[in-house]
Amino acid sequence: MDTTRRNILTGLALALPAATCVPVAVFGSPGPADDRELIILGEKLNAAWIEERKYSSPSLPDDGKFEAAFEECCRLVDAIRSHRAFTIDGLKVKAMAVAWCFGADEIDLDGDTTDIRISSSIINDLLHLAE
């Protein structure tokens, strides 16, 4: 038998006792419920962002409503940032938070390097996923 990467990996896979696979099944990848709090924060951010936009017109009186909505968005975005996303829906919430930071529904990180362009692309893909 040749000592190839494939043979070594096959041998290791066969050597692992079945018991070692049980924790993976029990403690496997997180399910959608793990992003429940993040998704709720996203719904709140969406509502606060609508309020912020409603009061953002320069023709409206400065009665503190815009500032209050803006501060609520800031608070929610900070809370979203501190949560880890486990699902596409959770990542979409984080993409929406980035969009709020840029004040736009479409993100352009304004860079010429591939890492910046692909980052913009990922965020925009998440924003437009399942529209």
Tens of pLDDT, residue by residue over 1-43, are 455 544 444 443 444 343 333 333 334 455 555 899 999 999 9
pTM, entire model: 0.66
- The tokens of 94 are what? 């984080």
Burial of 2 per CB tally in 10 Å (0-12, 13-18, 19+): exposed
Task: Measure Cα distances from 87 to 41, 49, 99, 101, 117 in Å.
Answer: 15, 23, 18, 22, 23
Tens of pLDDT, residue by residue over 80-89, are 999 988 999 9
Report the C-alpha gap between 109 and 79 in whole angstroms: 22
